[in-house]
A and B are shown apart, each in its own frame.
Chain A
Amino acid sequence: MADDILELKGISLSFGGLKVLSDVSFTVPEGKITAIVGPNGAGKTSLFNAISGFYKPQAGEIFFKGENIGHLHPPKRAKLGLARSFQNIALFRGMTVLDNIKLGAHSHLKTGLLAALFYIGKAQREEMALREEVETKIIDFLEIDHIRNMSVASLAYGLQKRVELARALAIGPQVLLLDEPVAGMNREEKEDMARFILDLNQEWGMTVLMVEHDMGMVMDISDKVVVLNFGQLIAQGTAEDVKNDPEVIKAYLGSGNVSDMRRRLGVEAAGSE
Chain B
Amino acid sequence: MRIGDAVSTYPSDEAIFRTQTQKVWMGIFIATLLTFPFVSSPYTLFLACLVGIAVISATGLNILVGLTGQISLGHGGFMGVGAYTAVWLADNMGMGLALSMPLAGLLTAAVGVVVGLPSLRVKGLYLAIATMAASVILHFIFVHWEPVTGGNAGINLQNANIFGINLNSDLRMYFVVVPLAIIAVLGERNLLRTRIGRAFIAVRDRDISAEVLGVDLLRYKLMSFGLSSFYAGCAGALWAYFFKVVTPESFPLDTSIFYLAAIIVGGMGTVLGPILGAIFMTLVPEILKILTAVVVPILPNAQVLLSPVRVVVFGALIVGFLLYEPHGMAEMWRRTRRYSHLWPFKT
Q: Which residues of chain A are within 8 angstroms of B213 by Cβ–Cβ distance?
A: 75, 78, 103-104, 106-107, 167, 171
CB distance from B9 to the nearest CB of A (A): 9
Q: Which of B170-178, B187-195, B281-289, B291-299 contacts A (4 or more CB under 8 A)?
A: B187-195
> Would you give the shortest CB distance from B135 to chain A, in whole angstroms?
25
A12 to B115, CA, bound (A): 42
When distances are taken between beta carbons in the complex, the residues of chain A under 8 Å from B190 are 116-119, 123
In the complex, the answer to whether A128 meets B209 with C-beta atoms within 8 Å is no
Q: B269 an interface residue at 8 Å Cβ cutoff?
A: yes
Give the complex CA separation of A124 and B15 in angstroms: 10
Given A106-B213, A106-B215, A132-B10: A127 touches B205 (CB 8 Å cut-off)? no
Whether A119 and B193, one on each chain, are in contact in the complex, defined by CB atoms closer than 8 angstroms, is yes
Q: Which of B189-244 contact A (CB under 8 A)?
A: 190-191, 193-199, 201-202, 204-206, 208-216, 223, 227
Interface centre among B187, B204, B205, B212 (most CB of A within 10 A): B212
Contact with B along A101-122 (1 / 0, CB 8 A): 0111111010101011111000
A residues contacting the other copy or chain, number (CB 8 A): 38
> Which one of A74, A92, A115 lies within 8 Å of B201 (CB-CB)?
A92
> Complex formed: what's the CA distance from A52 to B213 in Å?
11
**How far is B204's CA from A57's CA once the two chains are assembled, in angstroms?**
30
Measured between alpha carbons, how far is A106 from B214 in the docked complex, in Å?
7
A262 within 8 A of B: no
Determine whether A184 belongs to the interface, using a CB cutoff of 8 Å to chain B: no
* A137 proximal to B (CB < 8 A): no
CA distance A119 to B14 in the complex (A): 11
B308 interface hit (Cβ, 8 Å):
no
Contact pattern, A 58-78, Cβ under 8 Å of B = 1, otherwise 0: 000000000000000011001
A128 with B10: CB separation less than 8 A: yes
* Whole-angstrom distance between the Cβ of A87 and the nearest chain B Cβ: 12
Knowing A90-B206, A94-B204, say if A116 contacts B214 (CB, 8 Å).
no
Q: Is the CB–CB distance between B195 and A111 below 8 Å?
A: yes
With CB as the reference atom, state the residue of chain B lying closest to A118: B190
How many angstroms from the CA of A132 to the CA of B11 in the assembled complex? Answer: 10
Distance of B208 from chain A, by nearest CB (Å): 7
**Contact flag A52-B212 (CB < 8 Å), given A94-B269, A113-B223:** yes
A74: nearest chain-B partner, CB-CB: B212
Smallest beta-carbon distance B294→chain A, Å: 43
> Is A135 close to B, CB under 8 A?
yes
* Neighbouring B residues of A135 by C-beta, 8 Å: 10
On whether the beta carbons of A90 and B214 are closer than 8 Å, the reply is no
Taking a contact as CB atoms closer than 8 A, the residue among A103, A119, A123 that contacts B199 in the complex is: A103
Q: Which residues of B contact A126 (CB under 8 A)?
A: 194
User: Are the CB atoms of B211 and A103 closer together than 8 Å?
Assistant: no
Cα A74 to Cα B205 with chains together (Å): 19
B212 touches A113 (CB 8 A): no
Q: What are 10 inter-chain pairs, A to B, with CB distance below 8 A?
A: A74-B212, A84-B212, A90-B206, A95-B202, A104-B213, A105-B195, A106-B198, A106-B202, A113-B223, A131-B13
Q: What 6 A-B pairs are tightest by C-beta distance, nearest first?
A: A107-B214, A119-B190, A92-B205, A116-B194, A90-B209, A117-B187
Chain A residues with a Cβ under 8 A of chain B:
52, 74-75, 78-79, 84, 86, 90-95, 99, 102-107, 109, 111, 113, 115-119, 123-124, 126-128, 131-132, 135, 167, 171
Mark B residues whose CB is within 8 Å of A.
10-11, 13-14, 187, 190-191, 193-199, 201-202, 204-206, 208-216, 223, 227, 269
